[in-house]
Structure 1
Amino acid sequence: MPAPLEQTPPSNRTDIRFIHAADLHLGTPFTGISKFSPEFGDILAYATYRAFEEIVSLAIREQVNFLLISGDIYDSEERRIYGQLIVRKQLQRLSDAGIRTYIAFGNHDPLDGWSAHISWPEGVHVMPGDAPEVAYYPADDDRMAAIVGMSFARKAVSENLASRFPSKGRDWPVTIGLLHCTAGAGGGHVPYAPCSVEDLLQSGYDYWALGHIHTPVVLRENNPAIIYSGNPQGRDFGECGPRGCYIVTMKESGTVVYDFIETCRIRWEEHEISIEGMEDTNALITAMEGAIADIRANAGGKGTICRFTLTGRGPVHAVLARNGATEEILDAVREGECPAPDFVLTEKIIDRTEHPVDRESVACRTDIVGDIIQISDCLMQEDTTDTIRGELSELYENPRVKRHLEMLTDDEIVTLVREAETYLLDQFVGDDSE
């Protein structure tokens, strides 16, 4: 996450202060956790809603002028009634506090996806889907800011919407672009409404409030500031670390200062522990308990769902290789964890440890054990990984399964080869490390 510029409060009435949020994904179905405890399941089920409530509370505490939401309020274009009621309730809180809200819908909540209609509270402005609209704040003649935005009219938008935004008018006040889009590479997200940073610069705006990329990213710090706020609540291990929104102050001159504010109720964290030097599972459990204590101490009072990956070579590997061993260790480290505000729930233990053999010396052997090492090394070569991927192409092209699969990366192929090597060494070498 980029280091934010120093936040300063508005120095006079010509300064504009607002919150930039996006990708709320209210109602995201968290799976795989409720089976451990119904209480943890309830916390997860409402986590996205709690993050949105925190954004609204932050806006009221900080007395901002308005809230910007850059798309994907809901996780599905069907927008369940419960989610819509929560959104209306929270935006009503802002309206009652005299804070306006400007919304540009995205691919998860396009304008053609409404299954029910709930009227918006006073002070909520929804951007249209046919063309960018200029909305002034305030709406009277004493204009302090212009917000230019456009919603997705439908889910899959491949058009460069940014190119349709008008240039900043000569008599416009500080101007903000509000858009759900993919600016640049996209960080693995589907490139909806793709554009370049240069496209955004052409408008002459002072700030671009973008949505769609879930990691907080500052593409440009000033003149103009171009920022993805990220999502307010991480939803899985692909969205680890702090999540939140930006609180922004814009000077009449166009200078921007901003600060990232964490709003998530739950963090997702991945940690690696090496078994090197450990003599038994007691040492491993002690190391994991120490890591959990560190996670709790550094979480700022938030709950954490963590995943441990065990690596390295050592005698503990033989224990981990037994059926059910990692599940027993998981039960041991999870025991006594309750859904307090700063809980640390261990979701899974991934065993990537290896047999404690000297690979270099074993590779020289002329028996099947030596062959295992030699074949493994061969398979991990770059040209061979391409061959493996080619052999799997028929599977990935099968219409019955391809939508459930993603093509393996080189690192994933190497990991699979190493895991196969470790399995075979366990069978043929046993406790023999010679």
Structure 2
Amino acid sequence: MTRIEFLRNILSKTGKYNSDCYIKFVLMNEPIIFLHTGDVHLDSPFKGIKENNRILAKKLTDASYDSFKLLISHAISDNVDFVLISGDLFDSEKKSLKTILFLKEQFDLLLERNIKVIAIAGNHDPYFSWPDDLISHKALHLFEPGKVSSLVLESKKGLKVNFTGYSYNSKVLRESIHGQYEISKDADFNIALLHGSVGDIKNEHHRYAPFNISDLKDTEFDYWALGHIHKPEILGDRIAYCGIPQPRNFKELSGGNYLKVNLNDNKKPELNYINISKVEFRSIEVAVTEKDNITSCIKAIKDALTDSDDDKFYVNRVNLYGDSNSLYNYFKVESNKEDFIDNLNEFYDNQLVDDIFPNLEQYIEREKFFNANSFFKELSNLLEKYPFAEHLETGYLKNKSLKRITDKILAEEEKRPSKQDLERILIDLFKAEFDEDI
């Protein structure tokens, strides 16, 4: 006997209260709790990665299972009411036996704890491609294809929750469907699942149930569980993309999460992103100076990579920037870059440096620059009379080339930079154009 059945039974015998009203009054102070995920993309082939790095491809494949398994573990430990999947649980219409058996096992765990799974099929995994073994699973409630429909389920505390959703039956859905979503006045909460993107129905590039954020805000749904966009993003108090739980490439740097949602009678959801990724893609910025060489550069990169979790594997791209003659000349040789990366990767078990982008400039000494030609010598003379903004304004220096630096110098003048700072500004502005003279 559930808690609500027990209360109704006791109160009906007393005859003193309207049992349903009293129960609703008591329970509406209790929140419903659910996890919102989507775009899991199980069975992603990782073809391009496999061609270059089979080990990394295997790690990414395993990570997609492990992150989803962690989500299920969190659902159980947090004793949630529901798990929502907003489309694209699978990467394609083709499902491996391994994945089908894996999901059946995970759904079995949820069924044992009375946690219901509410899902819609997305453009990557349209309804017709879902295996019957999963569609018929007692824990799973998968929306029918090709039409907006609703179902009402009870939370663990007996609250009625109306879910409205739409499952794709093809890879494209150009028309907007959110206008067909309707709430149930009889339900305690109304939750919508939608796999789509912000856009205009008239734009042929918006092929996935386009919607305007304002349209969703104007509805009476307590929460819109969105899928399709892999970047986690909260579009409003009641509207959110969960993001991809396990990123697959450098385009998904901000992924790796699901949303934990607490929803109570004040109708303002409490949203918390929880990270569960097992492989993380990172873009690392490392600054170098004219004093740096290969040894110091390696140390700087290693220092930048120390901020890591032992439970994760990191795939890094390093962006080097700054002025360094030594490093500039070293990285001009392509084979040196490959050797440099190989050397870095020998230090780590849970990290991989995938690539390095040496956005470096040659360092130019002050004396060499200002003695390169008559124009630079004239600039040097001006600097001796610093502050020199007034000279620019009065036209003391007539050379037309100064027009390109006037705004920058005047802006810096307000901050009262040192003479040395202004020298570096001038060198940075002109070193590429006057490289031959230098």
After superposition, the C-alpha distances for 1:219-239 in whole angstroms (9 at most, x for unaligned) are: 012xxx101000101111111
The structure with the greater share of residues assigned to helix is: 2
The 1-side partners of 2:111 and 2:85 are apart by 15
What is the match of residue 352 of structure 2?
345
Check conservation: 1:101, 1:124, Cα contact below 8 A: yes
TM-score normalized by structure 2?
Answer: 0.72
Comparing 313-322 and 273-282, the one that deviates more: 273-282
The 2-side partners of 1:327 and 1:246 are apart by 40
CA RMSD of aligned residues (A): 3.3
Check conservation: 1:16, 1:144, Cα contact below 8 A: no
The 1-side partners of 2:256 and 2:64 are apart by 11
Give the deviation of 1:149 after TM superposition: 0.9
The alpha-carbon distance between structure 1 residues 195 and 73, as it changes in their structure 2 partners (threshold 3 A), is: same
Match of 1:307 among 317, 338, 342: 317
The 2-side partners of 1:363 and 1:51 are apart by 59
What is the match of residue 199 of structure 1?
215
Check conservation: 1:312, 1:354, Cα contact below 8 A: yes
Match of 1:326 among 331, 337, 340: 337
Check conservation: 1:77, 1:109, Cα contact below 8 A: yes
Give 1:255's aligned amino acid.
Answer: K
What is the match of residue 90 of structure 2?
74
The 2-side partners of 1:44 and 1:323 are apart by 28
Q: Which of 1 and 2 has higher RCO (CA within 8 Å, sep 6+)? A: 1
Give 1:280's aligned amino acid.
Answer: N
What is the match of residue 27 of structure 1?
43
What is the match of residue 267 of structure 1?
280
Check conservation: 1:26, 1:74, Cα contact below 8 A: yes
Match of 2:169 among 153, 168, 174: 153
The 2-side partners of 1:252 and 1:38 are apart by 50
After superposition, the C-alpha distances for 1:353-408 in whole angstroms (9 at most, x for unaligned) are: 23335899799899xxxxxxxxxxx9xxxxxxxxxxxxxxxxxxxxxxxxxxxxxx
Match of 2:115 among 99, 104, 115: 99
The alpha-carbon distance between structure 1 residues 29 and 140, as it changes in their structure 2 partners (threshold 3 A), is: closer
Give the deviation of 1:45 after TM superposition: 1.9
After superposition, the C-alpha distances for 1:133-187 in whole angstroms (9 at most, x for unaligned) are: 2111229995421111111121110110111112x2332321100110113589x
Give 1:130's aligned amino acid.
Answer: G
Counterpart secondary structure, 1:288: helix
Give the deviation of 1:281 after TM superposition: 0.8
After superposition, the C-alpha distances for 1:331-362 in whole angstroms (9 at most, x for unaligned) are: 11111422xxxx12111112222333589979
What is the match of residue 317 of structure 1?
328
What is the match of residue 386 of structure 1?
none
The 1-side partners of 2:140 and 2:91 are apart by 20
Check conservation: 2:152, 2:162, Cα contact below 8 A: yes
The 1-side partners of 2:371 and 2:177 are apart by 59
The 1-side partners of 2:54 and 2:257 are apart by 26
The 1-side partners of 2:149 and 2:92 are apart by 25
Structure number, greater radius of gyration = 2
What is the match of residue 134 of structure 1?
150
Give 2:133's aligned amino acid.
Answer: I
Check conservation: 1:33, 1:347, Cα contact below 8 A: no
Structure 2 residues without counterparts, runs of 5 or longer: 1-25, 376-403, 405-430
Give the deviation of 1:321 after TM superposition: 0.6
Between the two proteins, the alignment pairs up a number of residues equal to 352
Runs of 4+ residues over 6 Å off in structure 1: 10-13, 358-366
Check conservation: 1:17, 1:248, Cα contact below 8 A: yes
The 1-side partners of 2:156 and 2:287 are apart by 63
Give 1:75's aligned amino acid.
Answer: D
The alpha-carbon distance between structure 1 residues 192 and 282, as it changes in their structure 2 partners (threshold 3 A), is: same
